[in-house]
Amino acid sequence: MPSEPGNLSDLSGPGKAEWDKTVIDYVTGYTEEFGSKHFRLLADAAWDPTDIAVVDWDAHPLIAKNCLGDLKSMKFLDWTTPKGDRGRLWQDEYFEWRTIRDASGKLIRFEGTTEFLEYWEILGAHHPATALSVIGRFAGETAVRWQDVYGTYNPFETTATPEGRKNAFRRMMVSLAGAIPKSPYNNGQKAITFLSLPVSSMNAAVALFVSAARPFAKDDTTGQPVPMTRKELLASAPVAAIDCRNSDPAMVAVQNELALAGKAMAFNDPVGVYIRGLKQELLSGPHGETFSPDWVLLQRGSRSDVGDGIERSQRIVLEVPNGTGFVLGDLIRTDTEEQLQYGYQIAELIKLAIYMNTSSKGQIPENPIVLPVNPTAKCSTTNNCTTLKALFEEFDQSGVSGASDFQALGSVRRNSQ
């Protein structure tokens, strides 16, 4: 049976059974829908367990960057409102964050998560006490009112059912119809708990991986099939992916490459989006202090120094401890000479990954699926850009932050929009 993401052990009994069924149903359902001969529910015992394909990508939202440019993206993606973090609705790379600032507006803490909403809906449905306890730890609180997580549905009533709890939990904690989650524990006011956007759900990830696990190719005009570029795959192949992101093109490219090599593949257990690493060598203190391990905390997953040696953290916190003489917002990006002002600057340094087990080459002999190449998207002029630019104007007119915020960064990223 599938393990819990990060090798956690929060689920038991019916909760664990529902998680197992969810993973199995997603993989088998999409394998049947897309007709992939390459994707498997589980790795075969005959496969080399060390033959692991790493699908990794950068955590910063590329759609926002392409549409708005670096500087505007930095401000927009940290957009907070009295109802919660609105900029987070565009943090769409299977990584969402919140920033905490002091009274002067200086960045003092960064929290990011990759945890799937499906896992948390199951946890909330079957183990409400555990869910509230973990959420409390995220928020630094000893107790969390169930009303702030389940709304008017009391999860501890004798008549409460798992389905009732799940629906109530979803209504409060998930971004529904593009709205900010209602709960302060997943809208950034008190905490972020898991990925709130359906576009970053496990359902979306499995559909993408399975749909791309087919040997798509193009004709090189001599009748010989050759691999497509990432953008050609997104434009031409029938895959459940979105172009102009960091995540989707990377996922599609690796899956297609494995399929063209005749490999079978399966998610490395446990399936999840993991924080593979932080480029901490590109961060220093305000006076050249070397980045300290005390400034970063990886949570909600097994670490690379145990088990099979794979990093499976699903939560990252950056904060400089009291008594150091400076705060997170005083740190310097040594590659750009910028002072940290926005969560985007940190997300740029974070690498995410999904791990795959694979068979040997040529296990699945199959002729490539040769497709005509469609025009590729120009990422700065997509429909998303029209929406984003209009939202940025609304944000800019809200007076949340002034143009002076650009000064420290403008001299460095002068070529950005």
Length of the chain: 417
Q: What's phi and psi for 60, nearest 5 deg?
A: -75, 145
Integer Cα distance of 281 and 146 in angstroms: 41
Residue 216 identity (one-letter amino acid): F
Integer Cα distance of 313 and 277 in angstroms: 9
Helix, strand, or coil (residue 176):
coil
Q: Are strands 369-370 and 283-284 parallel, antiparallel or unpaired?
A: unpaired
pLDDT value, residue 74 = 94
Give the other-Cβ count within 10 Å of 309's Cβ.
10
User: Tens digit of pLDDT per residue, the chain (417 long)?
Assistant: 899 999 999 999 999 999 999 999 999 999 999 999 999 999 999 999 989 999 999 999 999 999 999 999 999 999 999 999 999 999 999 999 999 999 999 999 999 999 999 999 999 999 999 999 999 999 999 999 999 999 999 999 999 999 999 999 999 999 999 999 999 999 999 999 999 999 999 999 999 999 999 999 998 777 778 899 999 999 999 999 989 999 999 999 999 999 999 999 999 999 999 999 999 999 999 999 999 999 999 999 998 877 788 999 999 999 999 999 999 999 999 999 999 999 999 999 999 999 999 999 999 987 899 999 999 888 888 878 999 999 999 999 886 653 334 334 433 343 333
Q: What is the pTM of this model?
A: 0.93
Do 240 and 322 meet the contact criterion of CB atoms below 8 Å apart?
A: no
Integer Cα distance of 171 and 167 in angstroms: 6
